[in-house]
Amino acid sequence: MKKAASVLAAAGGLLLAGSGAGLAAPPASCAGKFVGTWTYPGGTTRVNRDGTANPKCPMCVAAQTWTCSGNIYVITGPTSYTATLSGDGRRLVGSTGIVATRVGGAAPTARAPAGGRETPGTTAAARTPKSGAQPAAPGDRAQSGALASD
């Protein structure tokens, strides 16, 4: 049981840290890459553009802070953690080895050419409906499911 609590605390720490005074928003050059909802073993965290994050897990502090530099997500508090964003913008791999998966908010997408045809780099997230929309048609590579909005 103690080990499970440690793993859960580490999972919460992947995306979260103690809140700090004098909060500054993360740099605009990278903040959009991380804003959204992320799930990881033991919880879910909403990462906000203003530098706050709101975790939902048994051992997490309800309000946290974060920043970024390029594809690196940095959280600080009683301890510090970093996570690296995957090339497709859908996963964060933490310094502790825990992986968080984007479940809401938009991942970076490739632009379709003027003819409207999909390019190999276009992500399923670009075609996934928002909450309340109809699921993807059979054969469509988009994943169905509700997404949180920013």
CB of 41 closer than 8 Å to CB of 6: no
Q: Of 17, 2, 15, which Cα lies nearest the Cα of 99?
A: 15
Residue 120 is assigned to a structural domain of this protein = no
Domain span holding position 76 = 2-104
Tens of each residue's pLDDT in the chain, 150 residues: 333 333 333 444 444 333 344 568 999 999 999 999 999 999 999 999 999 888 888 888 878 899 999 999 987 766 678 999 999 999 999 988 999 999 998 665 544 445 544 334 333 333 333 344 343 333 333 332 233 333
Residue 150 is assigned to a structural domain of this protein = no
Supply angle C-alpha 150, 41, 19, rounded to 5. 55
Give dist(CA 94, CA 91) in Å, integer.
10
Residue 64 is assigned to a structural domain of this protein = yes
Residue 38 is assigned to a structural domain of this protein = yes
Residue 109 is assigned to a structural domain of this protein = no
Number of domains forming the structure of the chain: 1
Residue 121 is assigned to a structural domain of this protein = no
Residue 134 is assigned to a structural domain of this protein = no
Q: Of 44, 57, 59, 61, which Cα lies nearest the Cα of 103?
A: 44
Residue 13 is assigned to a structural domain of this protein = yes
CB of 61 closer than 8 Å to CB of 72: no
How many Å is the maximal CA-CA distance in the chain? 57
